């Protein structure tokens, strides 16, 4: 994601937030009084500050999400440590870097929550060992 893309998103976020803030003011100034609802200026300021804070948080969160690096590929998975998400007997799933992967145990059953290390890969299937066993074979 380039710097120009981030600056463009920032400009768009500022413009859209300004329009949203203007809409909040219009609702407070003209729409609510039509229904007999009168809110103090402090309420308007509080709502606008809260909306601006939410907009800033949303921009930061989205920017960080868009900058998150995708996994390069399975060969980089060898040696990676994760946790068993569904029992490996011998096949199941492991969670590595927040993602679920199909895995096969290289050594019998491994229970949910156990730490495992990737020892090899075949297509989209990972072969894993318990972390303590993986260290002892080196």
Q: Which residue, 100, 96, 111, 106, is CA-closest to 127? A: 106
Distance CA(15)–CA(4), nearest Å, equals 17
Mean pLDDT of the chain: 88
Alpha-carbon torsion (44, 47, 50, 56), positive or negative: negative
Q: Which pLDDT value is given to residue 74?
A: 52
Contact 10, 60 (CB under 8 A): no
The topology (CATH level 3) of 74-136 is OB fold (Dihydrolipoamide Acetyltransferase, E2P) (2.40.50)
Average pLDDT over residues 20-38: 96
Q: Encoding tokens for residue 7?
A: 């600056």
**Percentage of the chain modeled with pLDDT above 90:** 62
Q: How confident is the model at residue 67, as a pLDDT?
A: 83
* Domain extent listing, the chain: 3-67, 74-136
pLDDT of 137 > 70? The answer is no
**pLDDT tens sequence across 42-82:** 999 999 999 999 999 999 999 998 888 665 555 578 888 99
What pLDDT, on the 0 to 100 scale, is given for residue 79? 87
Q: Is 91 left (phi over 0), alpha (psi -120 to 50) or beta?
A: beta
What is the signed CA dihedral for 131, 133, 137, 138, rounded to 10 degrees?
Answer: 20
Query: Closest by alpha carbon to 92, among 112, 77, 74, 117?
Result: 112
Specify the 3-state DSSP secondary structure of 21: helix
pTM of the complete model beyond 0.85: no
For 75-123, the pLDDT digits (tens) are 578 888 999 999 998 899 999 888 899 999 988 899 999 999 999 888 7
Would you state the structure tokens that stand for residue 3, as one six-digit string? 């710097």
């Amino acid at each position: 994601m380039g710097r120009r893309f981030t600056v463009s998103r920032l400009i768009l976020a500022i413009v859209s937030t300004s329009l949203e803030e203007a809409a909040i003011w219009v609702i407070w100034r003209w729409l609510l009084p039509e229904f007999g609802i009168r809110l103090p200026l402090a309420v308007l300021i509080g709502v606008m500050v809260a909306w601006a804070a939410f907009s800033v948080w949303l921009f930061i969160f989205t920017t960080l999400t868009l900058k998150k690096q995708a996994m390069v590929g399975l060969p980089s998975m060898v040696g990676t440590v994760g946790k068993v998400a569904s029992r490996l007997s011998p096949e199941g799933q492991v969670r590595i870097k927040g993602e679920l992967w199909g895995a096969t145990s290289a050594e019998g059953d491994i229970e949910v929550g156990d730490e495992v290390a990737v020892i090899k890969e075949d297509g989209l299937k990972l072969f894993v060992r318990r972390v303590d066993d993986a260290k002892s074979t080196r």
